[in-house]
Amino acid sequence: MRHHICMVCDFFYPNQGGVESHVYHLSQCLLDRGHKVVIATHSYGNRKGIRYLDNGLKVYYLPFPVMYNQSILPTILTTLPLLRNVFIRENITIVHGHSAFSTMAHEGMFHARNMGIKTVFTDHSLFGFADASSILTNKLLKFSLADCSHAICVSHTSKENTVLRARIQPDTVSVIPNAVDASMFVPDPSKRHKNKITIVIVSRLVYRKGMDLLAGIIPIICNKHPDVQFIIGGDGPKRIILEEIRENYQLQDRVKFCGSLRHSEVRDVLVQGDILINTSLTEAFCIAIVEAACCGLQVVSTKVGGVPEVLPPEMIKLAEPSVKALVVALDEAISDHRAGNVLHPLEAHERIKTMYTWPNVATRTEVVYDMVQTLPHRDKRTRINRYYQCGPLAGKLFVIAMVLDLFFLYILQILLPEKNIELAPDFAQQVNKCA
């Protein structure tokens, strides 16, 4: 079954991150399997309009204003005209939204359902249930997934989290993990320092990534192990704390900052290290530890979210998210490295290369698309009931939003009939290139 898919997300290139990489690689493999794929995102600086990437991947950079952290201003109705035009012009049969943080993904799926198009949503993050931010985001997710055809999560822990947050049936959620392009993360032991043990951190330097824990770990490990040095790749508001630690403990020659990294530069940093430490306080999957293991590094990580599902025990040491527990795990990893009780980098690379592959992710996502296309369309009464059950107040607001969106669609159909929108040609793709 050939599908016409529109990936909708606020986060895409030239922005760098795990979601951006996921959308790009999944789209490329789906193109190679013979499907039509386009991407809809907001403009980035002067990057507006239609651009083409490798393999003829078409990207619509739509002129929507960014509000915060690369997400557009939530307006619901103002995104409808352009997204409707894209869906009709490209003859879209499935709209696939990515990331609970993406306003554009939620609004794109909402408009698609009102246009009778099937929707799929991939959740890339874990959320709590108590703080104000999580409560608001969870309510939005509950609204967005109330009428979604199917959802995908990147780990079983993430699935549990999404099912609880959005109050949806577990059988409407599939688990499809992230993947890594192993050809981009080939080990190079010659880049390692022969007389020192290098611990690498590649992460956004923010609270959620546990940078406060890292600030407590660095001086303890440097004091206990004179032959250990740190390389920190990434940037963020917590960098100043780490720089203060380096200054206060006079560790300028043992703690190096690489700053913000492009995805193509991550491998060059990883291959310099012996151990990667991940101090995240919450993670749905953590692609960074897979990339590090693919480069042959021993991994030490907090035991949070979906991280315990990602790597086999011989490749990772797990610890509770505390300075004391992480220091103990790092001590063990350093001792193993000195004794040679670690996998050879090339052996680790070969194992990861077969564990997480984009062709496998694309094939499993294709199964979801095929299943979604066989589902019957829900009538408006059923959809209204689903929104109405989202809460005594929120449910009524969601129903009003649906009615307004349908009314706006009706007005647009009068002003710009579907028959007047020129269809984009379908270019033949080379099938099974990614298989």
Residues 119, 150, single domain; the answer is yes
Q: Is the pLDDT of residue 432 over 60?
A: no
Tell whether 260 and 115 lie within a shared domain: no
Torsion over CA: 284, 289, 293, 295 (sign):
positive
| 415 & 339 share domain | no
User: Which of 309, 335, 353 lies at the terminal end of a domain, its last residue?
Assistant: 353
Whether residue 13 contacts residue 39, with contact meaning beta carbons closer than 8 Å, is answered with no
Residue 311 lies in a domain: yes
Q: At which of 337, 353, 369 does a domain end?
A: 353
Please give the average per-residue pLDDT across 82-91, as a whole number: 96
- Residue of higher predicted confidence among 393 and 334: 334
Report the candidate in 221, 207, 198 with the shortest Cα–Cα distance to residue 323.
221
Q: Is the pLDDT of residue 386 over 70?
A: yes
At residue 361 the predicted structure's pLDDT band, cuts being 50, 70 and 90, is: very high
In a domain, 426, yes or no: no
Predicted confidence band of residue 428 (pLDDT cuts 50, 70, 90): low
Same domain for 339 and 406, yes or no, is no
More confident: 431 or 144: 144
Number of domains in the chain: 2
Same domain, 20 and 162: yes
Torsion sign over Cα 72, 77, 83, 85: negative
Residues 366 and 320 in one domain: no
Is pLDDT above 50 for 243?
Answer: yes
Structural domain including 74 reads: 4-179+358-420
**Residue 48, SS3 per DSSP:** coil
Whether 271 is covered by a domain: the verdict is yes
Residue 365 has which token pair? 């996502």
| Domain assignment of residue 430, yes or no | no
Is 431 inside a domain boundary?
Answer: no
**Please, what is the Cα angle at 163 between 162 and 164, to 5 degrees?**
90
Residue scoring higher pLDDT (31 or 134): 31
Q: How far is CA 174 from the centre of its chain?
A: 16
What is the structure's pLDDT at 431? Answer: 46
- Which comes out higher in pLDDT, residue 140 or 248? 248
pLDDT, greater one: 140 or 38: 38
Interatomic CA distance for residues 331 and 182, integer angstroms: 29
Whole-angstrom CA distances from 102 to 4, 16, 85 are 21, 15, 20
Collapsing DSSP to helix, strand or coil, 55 comes out as: helix
* Of residues 109 and 382, more confidently modeled: 109
Q: What is the 3-state secondary structure (H, E, C) of 323-364?
A: HHHHHHHHHHHHHHHHHCCCCCHHHHHHHHHHHCCHHHHHHH
How confident is the prediction for the chain on average, in pLDDT? 91
More confident residue, 286 or 212: 212
For residues 38 and 5, give the distance between their C-alpha atoms in angstroms, rounded to a whole number. Answer: 6
More confident residue, 130 or 398: 398
For 191-212, b/e burial (b = at least 16 CB within 10 A) is ebeeeebbbbbbbbbbeebbbe
Instruction: State whether 218 and 327 are in the same domain.
Output: yes
Phi-psi region of 71 (alpha: psi -120 to 50; beta: other; left: phi over 0): beta
The answer to whether position 244 is within a domain reads yes
Three-state DSSP class for 395? helix
Is the predicted pLDDT of residue 430 greater than 60, yes or no? no
Chosen domain end from 336, 353, 370: 353
The tokens describing 35, both together, are: 């499907």
- Is the domain of 146 the same as that of 243? no
Render 131-182 in DSSP notation, one character per residue.
SHHHHHHHHHHHHHHTT-SEEEESSHHHHHHHHHHHT--GGGEEE------G
Is residue 108 domain-resident?
yes
Judge whether residue 124 has pLDDT over 70: yes
The verdict on 14 and 119 lying in the same domain is yes
Residues 11 and 141 in one domain: yes
Claim to verify: residue 286 and residue 250 sit in the same structural domain: yes
Ramachandran region, residue 382 (left: φ > 0; alpha: ψ -120 to 50; beta: rest):
alpha
Tell me the CA distances in angstroms from 307 to 30, 199, 209, 300, one per residue in order.
27, 19, 13, 11
- Same structural domain for residues 68 and 195? no
Sort strands 94-98 and 316-319 into parallel, antiparallel or unpaired.
unpaired
Under 8 Å between Cβ of 208 and 302:
no
Residue 174 has pLDDT above 80, yes or no: yes
Can you tell me the distance from the alpha carbon of 169 to that of 175, in angstroms, rounded to the nearest whole number? 14
What is the torsional sign of CA 392, 393, 397, 400? Answer: positive
Q: Which H or E run contains 365? A: helix 358-374
Question: What integer pLDDT is reported at residue 251 of this predicted model?
Answer: 94
Domain harbouring 123, CATH code: 3.40.50.2000
DSSP one-letter code for 214: H
The amino acid present at 268, given as its one-letter code, is: D
User: Measuring CA to CA, which residue among 36, 34, 7, 37 is closest to residue 23?
Assistant: 7
Place of tokens 């250990």: 228
Q: How many CA atoms within 13 Å lie on the side-chain side of 186?
A: 3
SS3 118: strand
Confidence class of residue 434 from pLDDT cuts 50, 70 and 90?
low
pLDDT of residue 286: 87
Domain assignment present for residue 339? The answer is yes
Question: Is residue 421 scored above 60 in pLDDT?
Answer: yes
Q: What is the pLDDT of residues 17-72, one digit of tens each?
A: 788 889 999 999 999 999 999 999 999 988 999 999 988 899 999 999 888 878 89
Q: Which residue has the tokens 């992710």?
A: 361
Structure tokens at 357: 């592959």
Task: Report the alpha-carbon distance of residue 343 to residue 297 in Å, rounded.
Answer: 9
The DSSP result for 75-98, as a single string, is: -SSTTHHHHHHHHHHTT-SEEEEE
